[in-house]
Amino acid sequence: MAYRDWDRIRKGKYIVTTLRDKWNVSTFHEVDNLDTKGIEKAENNYEEVFIRVRELLMDKPWCCDSRDDVLTMCQAITDTLKENLLIRKE
């Protein structure tokens, strides 16, 4: 049985995707500017959800300790919604 794994980590304006299997590791960097992009510039439903969640959580004393925490949480929420087919293609 082959070992396969992947993860996506938000790093400010880009996503780092790392794919692993038994013999290889591949890393991809995708710039999407979702850390600062406004809702009017959202290119799809995924980006709109990310931006709306980011705007909801940013600068709230009851939420996160830092901007990076907010972005990490937005990434996790948006990816989970997409994986569970709650964000559909347009």
pLDDT tens-place string over residues 42-86: 999 999 999 999 999 988 887 788 889 999 999 999 999 998 888
pLDDT tier, 39 (very low <50, low <70, confident <90, very high otherwise) = very high
For residues 29 and 61, the model is more confident at 29
Residue 41: domain span: 4-83
The dihedral region occupied by 28, where left means phi > 0, alpha psi between -120 and 50, and beta the remainder, is beta
At residue 3, the pLDDT reads 58
Counting DSSP H helices and E strands in the chain, the numbers are: 2, 3
Does 89 reside within a domain? no
Average pLDDT over residues 21-44: 95
Does 90 reside within a domain? no
What is the three-class DSSP state of 53? helix
pTM of the model: 0.83
Does 88 reside within a domain? no
Does 13 reside within a domain? yes
d(CA 74, CA 66): 13
Q: Which two tokens stand for residue 62?
A: 């009851």
Split into its structural domains, the chain has a count of: 1
Does 59 reside within a domain? yes
